[in-house]
Amino acid sequence: MKSYLAAAVQMNSLPDLSKNLLQAEDLIDLAVRQGAELVCLPENFSFLGDEKAKQEQAEAIAQGSEKFLKTMAQRHQITILGGGFPVPTGTGKVYNTALLVGADGQELARYEKVHLFDVNLPDGNTYQESQTVLAGMRLPPVYPSKELGHLGLSVCYDVRFPELYRYLSQMGAEVLFVPAAFTAYTGKDHWQVLLQARAIENTCYMIAPAQTGKHNSIRQSHGHAVIIDPWGIILADAGDQPGVAIAAIEPNRLEQVRRQMPSLQHRVFV
């Protein structure tokens, strides 16, 4: 693992595939011009806001998203994470799929979100992800990159389930991805503290690209795409507007924190 710059992209995605991919392309270009070698896009980067339309267009969104990720990776010679897009399952529902693509345009790892956001919030909004999404049945992968470190995948609501991240750290993860479309209501209280907790517990870097702003008349996201170091320190925060959070991933820092706080070696219950 070498020292390198990573980017957590922050988007305001809409129920419009072509507009979203143009926005993502601009933000990827911005990140690359600042030196990022690993660029991470948020959950629902290619389509967000209208569940019925998403279902109807799922095949086109899936094909367009995957082609886009592979094209961007090859064009810029970067590793790229597409943090979540719908992939048809043949059941009438989709998998919420995160895809990691290497600089040669080849798929490195794929994860189908296992924890689905079925919640009635006090602000009056109801989210029933399971109405349109089929939960994945496999544990998330850790991709062992020689240059970028061991990369552990997850998506959004997963961050509330610490056992998933403990599994990833046990599998050798050094950098954890949490691409998200966190709601404005929950995000203001829980987004940052949950990410810092997962970083501290597992002494890992956290890269958390995010959605921000309004996506339709009822859906609003919190923003604050962040990169957090293994001590829980926020290295970069994209605020509440579309943009990028960029920070260095440093193997020496990872080793230092794990040496000073060797909690992963002190586990009693595994």
pLDDT tens digit sequence for 211-223:
999 998 888 999 9
pLDDT in tens, 48-87: 988 889 999 999 999 999 999 999 999 999 999 999 999 9
Residue 122 has pLDDT above 80, yes or no: yes
Structure tokens at 202: 């597992």
Annotated catalytic residue 43? yes
Q: Name the band, by pLDDT with cuts 50, 70 and 90, for residue 123.
A: confident
What letter would DSSP give residue 133? B
Task: Determine whether 255 is an active site residue.
Answer: no
Query: One of 43, 66, 112, 174 is an active-site residue; which one?
Result: 43
Distance of CA 100 to the CA centre of its chain: 10
Cβ count within 10 A of residue 60: 12
Q: Which is catalytic among the residues 37, 40, 54, 113?
A: 113
- Interior angle at CA 148, CA 9 and CA 2, nearest 5: 120
| 201 counts as catalytic | no
Q: Say which of 51, 54, 66, 156 is annotated catalytic.
A: 156
Tell me how many helices (H) and strands (E) the chain has. 6, 16
Q: Residue 248: pLDDT band by 50, 70, 90 thresholds? A: very high
The fold of 4-266 is Nitrilase/N-carbamoyl-D-aminoacid amidohydrolase (3.60.110)
Residue 107's pLDDT band, with cuts at 50, 70 and 90, is very high
